[in-house]
Amino acid sequence: MTDQLTLDLPISFYFESVEPIPIDEIVSSLLGLQKLASKVPLLVGNLCDVEYEIDLDSLKVAKIESGSLLEVLVLTLLFSSAVDRDKCIKWLNETKMGKYAKYGLGGLLLLLLASESITLYDTFKGKGAEGETPSIQANNNVLINIGSEATGASVVELRAAIDGALTGDRKKMVKAALDFVRPASGEGRGGLHAGEEATGVEFSHQAATDAPATPDFRVKDTNVAYTNTRLEIRALDRDKSDSGWRGALPQATGEKRLPLYFADGLDITKAVTLEAVQADVEVVMATDFNRGILIPKSITVTKIY
Give the integer Cα–Cα distance in Å for 42 and 117: 15
| pLDDT at 64 (0 to 100) | 83
Dihedrals φ, ψ of 131, to 5°? Answer: 75, 170
For domain 221-304, which architecture applies? Beta Barrel (2.40)
Task: Determine the average pLDDT of the residues in 149-156.
Answer: 88
Alpha carbon 270 to chain centroid distance?
Answer: 44
* Three-class SS state of 101: helix
| pLDDT at 228 (0 to 100) | 94
Strands of 55-65's sheet in order across:
55-65, 70-79, 5-17, 189-194, 202-203
| pLDDT at 175 (0 to 100) | 94
Residue type, 25: E
Cross-strand bridge partners of residue 277: 231
| pLDDT at 5 (0 to 100) | 86
Residue type, 277: V
Q: Which position has the higher pLDDT, 58 or 100?
A: 58
For residue 76, give the H/E element and its range.
Answer: strand 70-79
Burial of 88 (0-12, 13-18, 19+ CB in 10 A): buried
Alpha-helix residue ranges (DSSP H) falling in the chain: 23-37, 40-48, 82-95, 105-126, 134-151, 155-166, 170-181, 205-210, 269-273
Whether the Cβ atoms of residue 106 and residue 56 lie closer than 8 Å to each other: no
| Residues 121-134 pLDDT 10s | 888 877 655 678 89
| Residues 75-97 pLDDT 10s | 889 998 888 998 888 887 777 54
Strand 276-288 with 189-194, pairing: unpaired
| pLDDT at 278 (0 to 100) | 94
pLDDT at 101 over 70: no
| pLDDT at 94 (0 to 100) | 74
pLDDT at 288 over 80: no
Task: Determine the average pLDDT of the residues in 277-285.
Answer: 92
> How far is it between the farthest Cα atoms of the chain?
76
Give the integer Cα–Cα distance in Å for 260 and 258: 6
The pLDDT confidence band at residue 1, using thresholds 50, 70 and 90, is very low
Is the pTM value of this prediction over 0.85? no
| Residues 226-251 pLDDT 10s | 999 999 999 987 777 677 899 999 98
| pLDDT at 248 (0 to 100) | 93
| Residues 176-213 pLDDT 10s | 999 999 999 988 888 999 888 888 889 999 999 999 98
The pLDDT confidence band at residue 287, using thresholds 50, 70 and 90, is confident
Question: So where are the chain's domains?
Answer: 5-210, 221-304
Give the integer Cα–Cα distance in Å for 170 and 24: 24
Number of C-beta neighbours around residue 167 at 10 A: 14
| Residues 3-60 pLDDT 10s | 468 888 888 899 988 778 888 998 999 999 999 999 999 998 898 888 888 888 888 8
| pLDDT at 230 (0 to 100) | 93
| pLDDT at 2 (0 to 100) | 46
